[in-house]
Structure formats: structure tokens, C-alpha cells
A and B are shown apart, each in its own frame.
Chain A
Amino acid sequence: MKKFLLTLLFLLPALLFAQQPEVEMADTMRSNGKIYVVLAVVLVIFAGLIIYLISIDRKVGRIEKEVEKK
């Protein structure tokens, strides 16, 4: 019994501080759906950059063929 009480005493701080304070996150952003707007904007920029990269890739491919022909 004494050992048990002693253990409980040592565990007391852990039990008391187990409750972590609530950490603020963008929950409201998500709950009203506005985060999707940010995602959409980022995706548009990303799509634009990738399409641009593909067009450069094809252009370089065309020039490579021209150089090979000569």
C-alpha cells in the first residue's frame, strides 16, 4: 500500500500536466472551406509553371532535331 501511494505521488505531476493546452490551428479556415481557395490558387500557379516547363521542353526538342538534320 505504501509503495502504491508513493508511486501515485510520483505520477502526480504527469497526471496533472497530461492535459496539453489547445494548440491554435487553421480550424476555422477549414470549417468555412476557405482553405480550398488557397489550394486552388497554388494549383493554378503550379499548373502554369508545369505547362510552361513542358512547352520549353518541346521547343528544345524541336531545336535538337533541327541541329541534328544539319
Chain B
Amino acid sequence: MQKNWWKILAVVLLLYTVIAGFMMDVPRKPILHETIRNQYFHVCMWFAMLALMSVSLFYSLRYLRNNSTRDDVYAAESANVAILFGTLGLITGSVWAKFTWTEWPVWSINGWWVNDVKLNGAAICMLIYFAYMILRNSIEEEQTRARVSAVYNIFAYVLMIVFLLVVPRLTASMHPGNGGNPAFSKYDLDNRMRMVFYPAVVGWILLGVWILQLRIRIRIIQLTKSGTLYS
């Protein structure tokens, strides 16, 4: 139990996120209305993804230094969980954008994808990581697979930063914080929202780490049983 305190923390923080996220007062803004509460859920998906991709990068770099199978497993599984969060971020963002940035009615097939630079960047970024998984699965020999995918992972991480955090700031984007729009400033995130948003980010990241830990443990068991866990 003492080793698992952070799992309890994750559950407590997420319970608080859901309850306070629905109940607490939020700024009254036209267009957004109550959907501003999506900040506690949709935005946190991307924060969790970025955190897990950073974990993945860390273990890829470590793998290249010491060639440990364990580090390769850590890197691959964190990228896996990060892709899960990224996919959830894309889908939730698509729903949110349809009902705020477009005026298409619910039943219309239009408006599910807004041609916004950040959306396209996020989609490209997901494709880059799908390619990482395909690359991994296409190499039979374990050492080669681990090394090639670790190198590719560094490349993928840099591209992700460029597509998600750099390019959207250079052109016009409807996302706050891009194209001259402020984000996390007093204009769009007041102190009431901060009280929920920051615990929410930590909670979602911890939940991601929990799922990651389970995936790693299962993979390590598989490798131990097949006798291919060298170090």
C-alpha cells in the first residue's frame, strides 16, 4: 500500500476534478458557455500525452546509453499510453470544436474537423507515433528493433514539439495561446479555474502513469517467461 500512494492520489485528484469541474463557478463567456469546463478534461489529455511522451523520450535516450531491454520496454509502453491519451484528446477536441467553433447542427456530417493548424498538427503528430509503433513491429531482431525505434523516438518527439507547440504559435489558430491568443493568462483562465485545472492535470498524468505501470509489468512478465529479458 505504501508504494501505491500515488494511485490513491490520482483517484482523489480525479474525483475532485469531476465534482469541482461540474459544480464550481466558471467564467461566463459567449460561444463557450458551459463548455469551458472541457478545459479540465480535454486539455488534460494533451498534458498527460506530453508528459508520457517525455517519459518515453527519457527511456529511449537511456536505452541508447546502456542497451537495457527494460528501458526499451519503458519507452515503447509510455509511447503506447501517450497515444491513447492523444487519441482521446483528438476525439474530445473534435466534439468540442464542432459545437463552439462551427455552427453546423448535431446531425450534420460537417464540422467534425475544423481546419485549424493545431488540429492538423495534432493529427500529424499522432501519425508520427503510429509510424513509431509500425516501425517497432516490423523489426524482428530485438536489439535492432530497440535501437532503431529509440532513435526514431527522438526524431518523433522533436517533431511533436514543433507541430504542437511551435507551428501553431506562428500562424493563426483558434486555440488559446496560439496565433497571438493568450492562454493560461487572466483572460481565459481565472483563479477559480486554476483551482480545478492544475489538480486535474496532475490527476490525469498520474492515471496515465498507473496504466503505464500496468502495461510495463505485463510486458516484463511476458519477457521473463519467454526468457528474453536480459537486463
Q: Which residues of A contact B (CB under 8 A)?
A: 21, 23-26, 35, 38-39, 42-43, 46, 50, 53, 56-57, 60, 63-64, 67
How distant is the Cα of A13 from the Cα of B114 in the complex, in angstroms? 35
Tell whether, in the assembled complex, residue A56 and residue B214 are in contact, meaning their CB atoms are under 8 Å apart.
Answer: yes
**Number of residues from B at the complex interface, CB < 8 A:** 21
Chain A residues near B211 (CB, 8 Å)? Answer: 53
Q: Could you tell me which residues of chain B, from 56 to 75, have a CB within 8 Å of some CB in chain A?
A: none
Q: Could you tell me which residues of chain B, from 9 to 28, have a CB within 8 Å of some CB in chain A?
A: 11, 14-15, 18-19, 22-23, 28
If A53-B210, A63-B221 touch, whether A35 touches B33 (CB-CB below 8 Å) is no
Chain A residues near B217 (CB, 8 Å)? Answer: 60, 64
If A56-B214, A64-B221, A67-B225 touch, whether A24 touches B18 (CB-CB below 8 Å) is no
Chain B residues near A24 (CB, 8 Å)? Answer: 33
If A50-B11, A53-B210 touch, whether A26 touches B34 (CB-CB below 8 Å) is yes
Interface of chain B, main secondary structure: helix
Partner of B18 from the list A46, A60, A64 (CB cut-off 8 Å) is A46
Tell whether, in the assembled complex, residue B22 and residue A42 are in contact, meaning their CB atoms are under 8 Å apart.
Answer: yes
Tell whether, in the assembled complex, residue A39 and residue B34 are in contact, meaning their CB atoms are under 8 Å apart.
Answer: no
Tell whether, in the assembled complex, residue A39 and residue B214 are in contact, meaning their CB atoms are under 8 Å apart.
Answer: no
Those 7 A-B pairs whose CB atoms lie nearest each other, nearest first: A23-B28, A26-B34, A39-B22, A60-B217, A23-B30, A67-B221, A67-B224
Tell whether, in the assembled complex, residue A25 and residue B19 are in contact, meaning their CB atoms are under 8 Å apart.
Answer: no
Q: Is B218 an interface residue (CB 8 A)?
A: yes
Q: Is B186 an interface residue (CB 8 A)?
A: no
How distant is the Cα of A39 from the Cα of B14 in the complex, in angstroms? 13
How distant is the Cα of A43 from the Cα of B217 in the complex, in angstroms? 28
How distant is the Cα of A57 from the Cα of B121 in the complex, in angstroms? 35
Chain A residues near B225 (CB, 8 Å)? Answer: 67
How distant is the Cα of A42 from the Cα of B21 in the complex, in angstroms? 11
The chain A residue with its CB closest to the CB of B31 is A23
B205 to chain A, nearest CB (A): 15
Partner of B33 from the list A21, A25, A50, A67 (CB cut-off 8 Å) is A25
Chain B residues near A39 (CB, 8 Å)? Answer: 18-19, 22-23
Tell whether, in the assembled complex, residue A25 and residue B34 are in contact, meaning their CB atoms are under 8 Å apart.
Answer: yes
